Amino acid sequence: MQLLGYFVTLALTLSTSARSLQYVRVARRAGFDLANGQAAIALNDKFKTLTPDSPCTAPEDACVNDKFAQCVGGKFVLQSCGPGTGCAALPLVNSPGTSVTCTTSADLAARIAATGATDVGSSTGSSASPPPAATTAAAPPAQTSSTAGGSSADPQTSLTLDPAVIAKGFANDGQDVPAAGQVASLTSTNNFINFCLTVNQPLTNGAQVVDGSCNPAPMGSIPAKTKMPSSKFIFPKNGGTVAANTAFTIQMGIKNLETGNFVNAQENYFSAPQQLNAQGIIRGHSHVVIETINALDSTTVLDPTVFAFFKGLNAAAENGILTASVDKGLPTGFYKLSSINSAANHQPVLAAVAQHGSLDDTVYFTVA
């Protein structure tokens, strides 16, 4: 209660935006916050004793000489932090634990102060009067995030890449195990966060940019191999026949896709990573497209810019079946019907393994 009072009092002395920030923090304070703060303090104390030659065990991140240190092969590899920042262990906000990152000293102090921790062994009850350092440290985060544009208590709004999510394997071009015809992968030590600076294209930015664009969003959550989406057309069936110029309803069975999740296709196209539901199933929707072909056994490669019918299946499947009505039917002819199973932001679904059955279905049918 004393801490709560401290935060409310502090909040009243801050600007409106900073005040709401503090209230959010109070509301969010979780049972592990104090322990996280104490653990961060202990780690930062330990880091002061490390040298570039200190032994380490991968995967271990640390701070050595105020530089971010990754343990590679039993030895620290140091990376300098950006201007105005240093390396520190920070308390995690949403789960027990700490993360090692580059940040400002003000952000470090504020984030530790927000946990209520004042030293390694402190407890909530003992911090009746918060030290002056905590008070001065708690005010700057709002300024830090607006002026430096960098560190923020929330990694989802911070402009700084958290080292905990750096995919170190991306630094490998794959040619250590050469295979005939295999080309070197593009590599990155910062998750390609600025990749779009390397191409002369506008950012995708939520729009369907018809002349092409560069998309900076990560690919996101990939489901387990056992939860790859799959679909099969029930009507029309492969080789089936539909009456010409007569309304009909496409029916498609779908598995392992939490259908009914679609975002604004004009404003949020490819604008967020693939996401999974609590069961580990991709949250998304499907589409169906019908293309005209000149015969059922045609071998002509089709032009994807041309199609006879297209529909996003925005509703959730009923009893595992998605439907789309082709209100005016189709003229006499031969057709190819395909699904485009997608995540919520309309991107094609991504799977955990390269070798898998088709995640979509295609059937060929006659309209007569």
Nearer Cβ to Cu ion, position 218 or 312? 312
Per-residue x/- track, 326-345, Cu ion (CB under 5 A): ----------------x---
Q: Is 218 in the site for Cu ion (CB under 5 A)?
A: no
On the CB side of 231, CA atoms within 13 Å amount to 31
* Cβ-closest position to Cu ion: 346
The answer to whether 313 and 322 are in contact (CB under 8 A) is yes
Provide, rounded to whole angstroms, the least separation between the CB of residue 361 and Cu ion.
17
Q: What is the three-state SS of the chain?
A: CHHHHHHHHHHHCCCHHHHHHHHHHHHHCCCCHHHHHHHHHHHHHHHCCCCCCCCCCCCCEEEECCEEEEEECCEEEEECCCCCCEEEEEECCCCCCEEEEEECHHHHHHHHHHHCCCCCCCCHHHCCCCCHHHHHHHCHHHHHHHHHCCCCCCCCCCCCCCHHHCCHHHHCCCCCCCCCCCCCCCCCCCCCCCHHHHCCCCECCECCCCCCCECCCCCECCCCHHHCCEEEEEECCCCCEECCCCCEEEEEEEECEECCCCCCCCCCECCCCECECCCCCEEEEEEEEEEEECCCCCCCCCCCCCCCEEEEECCCCECCEEEEEECCCCCCEEEEEEECCEECCCCECCCCCCCCCCCCCEEEEEEC
Q: Which stretch binds Cu ion (CB under 5 A): 29-37, 136-144, 194-202, 309-317?
A: 309-317
Provide, rounded to whole angstroms, the least separation between the CB of residue 208 and Cu ion.
10
Nearer Cβ to Cu ion, position 153 or 343? 343
CA 299/CA 297 separation, integer angstroms: 6
Provide, rounded to whole angstroms, the least separation between the CB of residue 344 and Cu ion.
8
Side chain identity, residue 312:
G
Provide, rounded to whole angstroms, the least separation between the CB of residue 279 and Cu ion.
21
Provide, rounded to whole angstroms, the least separation between the CB of residue 231 and Cu ion.
14
Strand partners for 363 = 337
Residue partners of 73: CB distance under 8 A and separation at least 6: 58
Nearer Cβ to Cu ion, position 86 or 312? 312
Nearer Cβ to Cu ion, position 124 or 277? 277
Q: Which stretch binds Cu ion (CB under 5 A): 140-148, 233-241, 242-250, 308-316?
A: 308-316
Nearer Cβ to Cu ion, position 56 or 276? 276
Nearer Cβ to Cu ion, position 63 or 324? 324
Q: Which stretch binds Cu ion (CB under 5 A): 46-54, 73-81, 253-261, 304-312?
A: 304-312
Total residues contacting Cu ion by CB under 5 A comes to 3
Nearer Cβ to Cu ion, position 127 or 345? 345
Q: Is 283 in the site for Cu ion (CB under 5 A)?
A: no
Provide, rounded to whole angstroms, the least separation between the CB of residue 337 and Cu ion.
17
Q: Is 312 in the site for Cu ion (CB under 5 A)?
A: yes
Provide, rounded to whole angstroms, the least separation between the CB of residue 192 and Cu ion.
25
Side chain identity, residue 76:
F
Provide, rounded to whole angstroms, the least separation between the CB of residue 324 and Cu ion.
12
Q: Which stretch binds Cu ion (CB under 5 A): 25-33, 54-62, 111-119, 311-319?
A: 311-319
- By CB under 5 A, name the one of 99, 229, 346, 363 that touches Cu ion: 346
Nearer Cβ to Cu ion, position 101 or 341? 341
Provide, rounded to whole angstroms, the least separation between the CB of residue 232 and Cu ion.
19
The binding site for Cu ion (CB under 5 A) comprises 312, 342, 346
